[in-house]
Amino acid sequence: MMSDEQAAALSPESVVAQMKQNGVSHVVWLPDSETNWLFLKMQEEQSLSLVGVAREGHACSIAAGLFAGGAKPIVLVQNTGMMESGDSMRGWLLNLNVPVVFLVGYRGYTRHGVNHDSAAEYTERFLLAFGIKFYMVESNADADRISLAFTESELTQRPVVVLIADEFHGFN
């Protein structure tokens, strides 16, 4: 039987299932400790090609190139890196109408509204300033929002962000 904590967590299996359901071919990502369990599951999935980057800003140009070549990438980064790559998002994705979904670790977010990390304070403001639609995912019960993000991205031909708001339990 699952504990309440396990039931409330976002499992890597749920995320990979959403990737497969939406035809993702490539995961462009910057490795970090929060995504370790997800990485292991993505590595096991033969339909996914993992493309590691040294900086998050590079993920945007790589995703745009993959899209131009007929692939369906997803970008996996943390909120701090997403904000650092704002100009690349503008130039490579928004200006070129590239429909790509970002899975963004919401570092510093607490569901109680008392954030002690400025990264959390600026994440949603950043997305609103860029006019980027976003969805929040906190547990397996929310995993279908990843599919909503893919639908939104394809309809608008723009990037859409899924904020993974379970930093300490997510992907475990």
> What pLDDT digit, counting tens, does each position of 27-48 carry?
999 988 778 889 999 999 999 9
Whether pLDDT at 154 is above 60: yes
Q: Strand 73-78 vs strand 134-137: parallel, antiparallel, or unpaired?
A: unpaired
Question: Alpha-carbon distance 71 to 26, whole Å?
Answer: 7
Identify the band that residue 6 occupies on the pLDDT scale cut at 50, 70 and 90: low
| Residue 123 vs residue 1, higher pLDDT | 123
Does 3 score more than 70 pLDDT?
Answer: no
Q: d(Cα 39, Cα 67) in Å, to the nearest integer?
A: 22
29, HSE (Cβ side, Cα atoms, 13 Å) = 22
Is residue 168 very low, low, confident or very high in pLDDT (cuts 50, 70, 90)?
A: very low
Distance, CA of 151 to CA of 130 (rounded, Å)? 19
- pLDDT tier for residue 170 given thresholds of 50, 70 and 90: very low
Phi/psi of residue 51, nearest 5 degrees: -120, 100
Q: pLDDT above 90 covers what percent of the chain?
A: 78
